Structure 1
Amino acid sequence: MEPKKNPKADLTRNSGLYFAIGLALVMFLAWQGLEWKNYEKDEAFNYKMDVDEELEEEIPITEMLKTPPPPPPPPAAPEIIEVVEDEEEVEETVIESTETSQDEVIEVEDVVEVEEPVDVDVPFAVIEDVPVFPGCENAKDKRACFQEMMLKHIRKNFRYPEVAQEMGIQGRVSVMFTIDKDGSITNVRMRGPDKNLEKEAQRIISKLPKMTPGKQRGRPVRVPFSIPITFKLQ
């Protein structure tokens, strides 16, 4: 049996397209209606600005009046001169000369030279009499004996800080100190890669014994000395 409805005459075939076009048209008209604005003529804003030109004021030219110089100061009053009668005798002041003639002989007492005490720092390398480390009193070369005893003292008292070992810190600490005029150790200074190593170097130097002070021209003087202490992990 053949269908009575012609498939070409289907009215719902393009209904979706027509619906979309109609919806878009309605939204466009609604948007135009919302955006429509109407301004009254009375409320129009005037963009013109009237600027009045300012007239230049004439500045009167005034002449500078020259002030007269101040009057000169009055002359000083003359000194009062006392009049002395001829009958009175005026004593004259006699000025004796302090210069001596060639014939006169001046006796000069013997001048005693006073030597000022030597109060300077003399380096260990140039001092005449080096400080004597205990045990080097009878050594022929006291300078070499001093350095050897210093190394022995460092080896004997050396102790690697545990904190530095755990952290793997090593390096060289430069130690500087002064052997004072009484043989004591003063002015100890350190410079190294770590504070723990510097403290250990200071502890070693603090254990140095009292020494015989160095002498320059036969007088005790302060002698600065420096030595490196190397901390190396095995």
Structure 2
Amino acid sequence: MKPKKNPKADLRKKTVLFLQIGLIVVLLFSYVMINLKTYDQKQAKAEQWDPVEMTEEEAIPITKVQEDLPPPKPKDPPVIELIEDESPETEDEMESTETSLDDIVEVDEIIEAPDDDPVEPVPFEFIEDVPIFPGCESLDDNEERKACMSEKISRFITKRFNTGLGEDLGLSGINRVTIMFEIDKNGDVKNVKARGPHKLLEEEGKRVIKLLPTMEPGKQRGKPVPVRYTIPINFKIQN
């Protein structure tokens, strides 16, 4: 015989319901356990915030304004007492320094002392007003006058210097004779010196420089002064 089952006693019909109830119970338990927290009572007491203590630490210091003290009273000035001179000695009488008109010596003419102090020559590069070579008078600029003077002196030397003298002396190649001279307060050439490869060439350079015309003297601060000038004479000897 087969056992008979009561359809009402079949529990498989409520399986889904029981499953849902179990899940709800598990979720509620998990939620309660997650939110459950425990604290150490000693640590909680140690970390408790004390508003009184914080206020004392963060208290703003009070700034005291120093009152200006009144200036000290000035001391009384010392009292000076006048004491009469009781000495019987009499003072020496001072002689008068006044001069009468009768004692004044009349001067017929005042003669100024000549200015004999030597003036050091100024280098041509630093002179305020350069000497003016004949033919450069129309130029107003100082630099233009310097260039004009150098050009005319070079042309003057080129025309008159005897370059054949070097060939007669047996020299060869490029030779140089350096001439140094001064243009004095009157514009004349003075103190001519030369340096070159041979004595005769030095003398030839001096001879040519002494032929330079009189110039308008150079000026420093508006006064005529001697001016030092240096020029090299270069010439090549063809063998």
TM (norm. structure 1) is: 0.49
Whichever of the two has the greater Rg, that structure is: 2
